[in-house]
Amino acid sequence: MYISYRLFSFRFFFIFLFLTGFFISSAQDTPKVWSLEDCINYALDHNLDIKKQILSVEANKKQLLQSRLNLLPDLNANATNVWNFGQTIDMYTNTFATSTVRSNNFYIQSTATLFSGLTKVNTIKQNSIILLASQYDLDVLKNDISLAVAGYFLDMLLNLELLDVARNQIEITKGQVSRMSKLVEAGSSAKGDLLNIQAQESAEALAVIQAENRLIISRLSLQQLIDLPVSPDFRIEKPLLKPVEDSKGLLTPDQVFNFAVEKRPEIKSADLQVQSAQKSLAIARGVLYPSLSFGGSWGTGYSGASQEVESTVYKKEFIGVTNVTGDTVFGYYPSSTYKNKNFSKQIRDNDNKTLGFYLRIPIFNGWSGRTNISLAKIQQEKAEIDLEIQKRDLRKNIEQAYTDASASLQQYNASLQKVAAQEESFKYTQQKFDVGMMTSFDYNNSKKDLTKAESELLQAKYDFIFKTTILDFYMGKPISINK
């Protein structure tokens, strides 16, 4: 009994492991269904242009930090070890040296700028502006990519629905082909009607293939846009789309523009470029001012030609004989031996310190200062024009999106009425066709008109959703197509 229980337990355990592994494997094999937010987030994380702009922002951060550090005094040290061959004047003994001489020089210097026409201060302010502008440029890039992803996502949704419409139409036609075949066999209908219906079936089969190709292309385009490896298993979520509302709910172009011109990153970036140009002009003017700095240094060195007395001996030498007495006169003269002066002693003895103020007054430098001021003024005017261009383009985009949304809404409403009318007309046509009161040619035309109306309705619907999404985005709302 105990053995049977253990066998049962082992079997249950292995079955459990098998089922767990099966479900995990099945879950891993199930392709991911991508929502619009998933696509946008993936694009923002993997887009190479965004990564490049992020690096530009980081570089501008380093540039700003360096401009702030430039306010600090500099400190530099130098050390040399030189062998001189041939005749030269030794810098420490100020005498000629003809033999090989080794010399060392050690030097530390520090300089602090006290005033330089506020060029360093204005450089810090300019780099702060450039950093903020680059961050806004990054936002512009993200916005552009997000809107593009939304457009491609909606295009794929549209092609999915158009494919469903095409497949529904061919199913209806297949039913009619089957029914007509039976009528022709029974002798109740002419074979020509069957041929017309079969020709319509072939045309609709081609329409299905074309719709599938458009879907494949839109799927490929969306994956390439978000930098996702292309896969035929790529699937997107079919959200519950926001409703198509009356144009009374839309803000006017002026209302959208007045809000967007204060909030949009491209406008802020262009405005900061104007401020940066103003700082460039201030820096160019600051170069014409005198500059004052304070500095100090310490230096010392060693020379192999520098010697000191090692010992002195006084030697007796004959000088001459006196004239009166004829005595011999002797003198004592020192005789010294020399040695190279000790390294550490020379370092102490050659010690040199300086402190000083340094004033630089620009008088004439080939007119470069005035030229730089003129160029800075031109750059400022160009930046101001670029700002106006950005405002103009923003207004044009808003007006275009509003006009397109209004036109799409009108087309949607007209298509909605047209579809309703075509559906009623097709029902009536089908009833007449079923009882033999209408030719297959007229039936096919009615069916084509209904399919065309349904396609136009879908296109107007998605176009309206995208254009209103753009207007909402200009109003600072996150990109969303959900209800």
pLDDT (0 to 100) of residue 367: 87
Segment 374-394 shows an average pLDDT of 95
Averaged confidence pLDDT in the chain: 84
Q: What is the pLDDT of residue 7?
A: 45
Q: Quick one: average pLDDT of 324-342?
A: 75
Crossing angle between the packed helical segments 368-434 and 265-286, to the nearest 10 degrees: 170
- Could you report the per-residue pLDDT of 250-261, keeping only the tens digit for each? 778 899 999 999
| Residues recorded for the chain | 483
Residues 255-304: tens digit of each pLDDT = 999 999 999 999 999 999 999 999 999 999 998 999 999 999 999 988 87
Residue 471 to residue 150: CA distance in whole angstroms: 13
The residue that leads in pLDDT, 323 or 238, is: 238
Please provide the DSSP assignment of 361-423 as one string.
----STTHHHHHHHHHHHHHHHHHHHHHHHHHHHHHHHHHHHHHHHHHHHHHHHHHHHHHHHH
Confidence of residue 56 (pLDDT cuts 50, 70, 90): very high
127-170: per-residue pLDDT in tens? Answer: 999 999 999 999 999 999 999 999 999 999 999 989 988 898 88
- The answer to whether 208 touches 171, Cβ cutoff 8 Å, is no
pLDDT of residue 24: 47
pLDDT of residue 382 exceeding 60, the answer is yes
Residue 92 is predicted with a pLDDT of 64
Q: Name the band, by pLDDT with cuts 50, 70 and 90, for residue 356.
A: very high
pLDDT one-digit tens code per residue, 176-189:
788 778 877 877 67
CB proximity list for 268: less than 8 A, separation 6 or greater: 133, 136
| Phi-psi category of residue 411: left, alpha or beta, with phi > 0 → left and psi -120 to 50 → alpha | alpha
SS3 content of the chain, % helix, strand, coil (to 5): 65, 20, 20
Q: What is the biggest distance separating any 2 CA atoms in the chain, rounded to whole angstroms?
A: 180
Please state, in angstroms and rounded to a whole number, the distance separating the CA atoms of residues 40 and 480: 11
Query: What pLDDT shows up at residue 26?
Result: 43
Q: Is the pLDDT of residue 232 over 90?
A: no
User: For 199-215, how does the pLDDT look when each residue is reduced to its tens digit (9 = 90+)?
Assistant: 888 988 998 999 999 99
Superfamily of domain 37-72+116-289+371-474: Outer membrane efflux proteins (OEP) (1.20.1600.10)
Q: What is the mean pLDDT of residues 425-432?
A: 79
Q: How confident is the model at residue 29 (pLDDT cuts 50, 70, 90)?
A: low
